[in-house]
Structure 1
Amino acid sequence: MNSVNDDKHPNKKAIAANEERFRALVNATSDIVYIMSADWREMKQLEGRNFLADTNEPLTDWISKYIHPLDQDQVRTAIDDAKRENKVFQLEHRVLRADGSIGWILSRAVPIFDDNGNVREWFGAASDITETKRAEEALKLAKEITEQQKRVYETIANSTPDLMYVFDLQYNFIYANEALLTMWGKSWDNAIGKGLLENGYEPWHAEMHQREIDHVRTTKTAIRGEVSFPHALLGKRVYDYIFTPVLNDAGEVEAVAGTTRDITDIKQNEQRKNDFIGMVSHELKTPLTSLTAYLQLMEKSEPAKHDPMTKRILEQSIKQSRRMTNMINGFLNLARLESGKMFIEKGPFDFATFLQEIAEETRMLYTQHRFIFPDIAPVIINGDMGKLAQVINNLLGNAVKYSNIGSQITTSATIEGDQLKISVSDEGTGIPQEEISKLFDRFYRGQNNNLIAGFGIGLYVCREIIEGHGGKIWVEQSTDQGSTFCFTLPV
């Protein structure tokens, strides 16, 4: 009998020693240590270590004191599972912290057995995982928000008729909206990850876009263009597109986003409009030319010479018919510009003689203003005399319109390097600074010009003519004392 007890005694000591070492390890590595009764009804001991409130005596209401109400049922279920199979209890759940706030713990408890193999108690340890859970919740929320934004963006991208897409830096499509997939007649799986050629672009078209993608990547700036492309269902269409750089956190281009709009109908409508304007203007010009000729004949007739009233009426009629002719010429030039049919026919001519002819015509046409024209030495210009005359006449006509009767309008011409600079200055009302940058836009008219006739195409046509000659046109200065318009021509 004694020998048996002596045999068992060392085992008890070894078990006790191992248990003590285990408890020491748990105490050293855990934020919370606790001991539960075999049936888990009583918490015998709890070292909360400022995370949870310590127990000063055994507790039977420990669930309501420590466990968050929303997780109490989950804790009970996990306890029942552990008790049923005498296995390790393990659970992540919320707790009521010592400071009254809500925290998270990862709790584990192992069964401690007596000599008969029955559970004597449960020894548990828990780690504070509050920050980890908060990070997980924040990540989950961010993911939900991201998914929501993605759904919103995809809804927008897929509901627009515009084509939206993204290239990687190897010219492959990494995104395409439904409109673009429909235009290609392809599915997402068949198109994404593929290059331009694989998605049906002709070689010249693919090479052009590849150069543009390289340009965007190098300059980090957007680029815009216009191109024709066959639609799978609608045939050949005209598209306006823009490529924009997508920058990463380091400010480097990591992709190129594109948006393309079908402007075929707009182009066709513009062409119809230009054809109509050109046709009507041409038809109006013929009878107006005849009318002007008849008025000039009448002006030279004997009744006109002897009757001041008749002479004055004829002079004003001729002036207005010329003004209408200039307006019609403006519309014709606009129609030709937009249809690509306005040609600049250059030839050498002496600008000094040319300007003298304009001076004589201007003084005859506008008798109520004082005009000063320069006497310049002969200088040869290679240009279209008719169209350059239209530019100068337009600037002079505008100076007349925006100047008081009797005021002075000065034209000057100087050689600056290899450029001839022509200026037209008036003593008119001036132009607000915020409007100067818009003056040469098509159909733009100043905010204070409602009482002055015009369609806002004269300066636009002037700019196209001067740029077609390799020159520039601009407003040099403008105050309430008058304005100065300038343009240059290569000598």
Structure 2
Amino acid sequence: MPMLITDPSQPDNPIIFANAAFTKLTGYARAEILGRNCRFLQGPETSRDDVAKIRDAVERREAIEIELLNHKKNGERFWNRLLISPVFDEDGTLTYFFASQFDVTLEREHLHNLGEALRRREQMLDALVRSSSEVRYRVSADWRRLYHLSGGDFLADTNSPSADWLETYIPPEDRAAVLAEVERAIRTKTSYSLEHRVYLADGSIGWSSSRAVPVLDGDGRITEWYGAATDISERKAAEVASRDLTVSLGRQVADRTAELRLYGDIIQSSAAPICAFDPAYRLIAFNQAHSDEFSRIFGRRVQIGDVFPDLFPPDQGAVMRGFMARALTGETYTVTEEFGDPALAKPTWEVSYSPLRDGEGRVIGAFHFAKDISDRLRAETELAATQEALRQSQKMEAVGQLTGGLAHDFNNLLAGISGSLELMQTRMNQGRVKDVERYMAAAQGAAKRAAALTHRLLAFSRRQTLDPRPTDVNGLVAGMEELIRRTVGPGITLTVVGAPDAWPALVDPSQLENALLNLCINARDAMPDGGGITVETANRAMDAATARRYDVPPGEYLSLSVADTGTGMSPEVIARVFEPFFTTKPIGEGTGLGLSMIYGFAQQSGGRVRIASTPGQGTTVSLYLPRHDGAVREPEETGAATALPRSDEGATVLVVDDEPTVRMLVTDILDDLGYTAIEAGDSAAGLRVLRSDVRIDLLVSDVGLPGGMNGRQMAEAARETRPDLKVLLITGYAETAILGEGKLGPGMAVLTKPFSVETMAARIRSIIEAGRERARLG
């Protein structure tokens, strides 16, 4: 039997073994076969659908039997019946595919020729019936004289009495049979009927079916016979051909039976339970493994004729009947289900079904091929749990590194703030007021650095409130060039290539500075033995096709790229670099947050970040930022804060915050501005004030509030009775609950913590004055 083995662990599942029968069948030498995929035997006439079925079975690691048109080395076509089975090791790992081959070309040709012969026979019989004409004859009572023979065109006519008709019309080998039938008919006075050979009109020998009846007188004596003869030469020739075909078919059936017996032996030797059933769900065949496995899970053996679903408990029987019914409709499919007696065993089975058809394609049953996959599923579950535990462990390790670093940074900042405040109090008590300003500056600087740290954390979670402004990216890079050089060190060559006509970008400049510095630090770490970093800007106009490739809306973008000549990354690493806590650095040297924060910043800015890398050649990280159509304003000179004058008109502001310190700060600001402040510690208290008759010109509220509502929900509830209420929301980040679909309603504004006193005062004054201006114009 032609056989081969393929190795699915190698690319393209190559042939690693082929026996002599296979090389003899195909005409290829073993050296021409090994290492190639089986598809080299296919040709243009090979069914693509059948090839797809084989590929699907291989991908799903399932057995398949199929007939496929292949080609030998000399170009000769042959039909190949393939039986492909996966081979697993004791751990359930797929090791090989075993394929046995049957050359069924002669079988298919014999069956085709048989069909053609039967068709020709039917045509001959049909022609015989249509063209047949009877010969009528009359003979004497003793059959010695033939009186008349006419009406046919296959025997020589005679109108003269003849005593030698037997010699004239009947060949010698049939004369005895004719005379014997004549003697019987005369003796019994019954009809004469016989098929025998005759001399045809052209002198050749044919066949005739002759029938005659006696004519009796009043005494019952035979007076003469009237008969008719029909030409059955063609029918007899067809019968001879049919006998020959029957003999040929018998040989084919014997050959097919031997093949089926071999196939049955293979099925019986399979460790997988296999059975076949008819349309009444009765078992018509099964292998030993099916009987053994059923006995293992239910404690009884199956028998031919058993209604298979009735052997299961009622709940499982209904499921099994449904599966079998699908197969009896002609569907081929695979399902996974638990079957068995829980008191014995209830494994998980992977069951494949395929219809069993007769020669005319009618479904007369179906096959059931089962595989116990309990051990495999258990191993997969254990592996998934182990992987999840490992991921959680790695994540917690990174979180520990992150929190440790944050605690260190915040402790340093708090020490600076706390120490500055204590020294301010000491110097004021000592009357040394001139030192207070220095300590105030130190405390404010530490507070600003703490705010910057929280912004970096919020960028990691993609929840920071950005302040996008038209930005000259070339100028920003130039301003950071010296800082980057000092950061990466003398062993790294830094090259800055700024596009001379670079577009302005609409971006938060401080976050962009942070992203650029992080990318340069990552590039430095990828070059432990030194190398080069190139920072480059360029204009990118993306049409619809390009935008789809970069996953951005079509439009114009300013790209900022950082390229290094370092170790590079594999595709598997690139696929994970933006995952939080993923890092390729040794433990203690990275938390896996840098690129995640940059990704969040780019997404929130309306842009994207892309990575191109080749192991051993380096990495390029590119930020694509939306272009700003317009000029970039020159940065304003910062100087001492200018105190806003007190308002002459006055206003009433409701301050809602659960943090007393914040309420105190805002209240003092309002007092300096000449406004009246009303305080509330939660949303419930604030809403009671808002639903009263008290005049409220502005609501200043934290977003995260106790009392059943957040700040925005409280403001919207208040606007049911105060539709023109002005609202300023203050928050540590822009939560989804505040921004909704990304926009605030009319008359609403947001201010991000921490904020300076001057910023808060200016925002409150601008909102109140803007409201009054609209009221005057309205």
Report the TM range for the smaller structure's normalisation.
0.3 to 0.5
Larger-gyration structure (1/2)? 2
Higher relative contact order (CA 8 A, sep 6+): 1
Normalising by structure 2, what TM-score? 0.28
Normalising by structure 1, what TM-score? 0.40
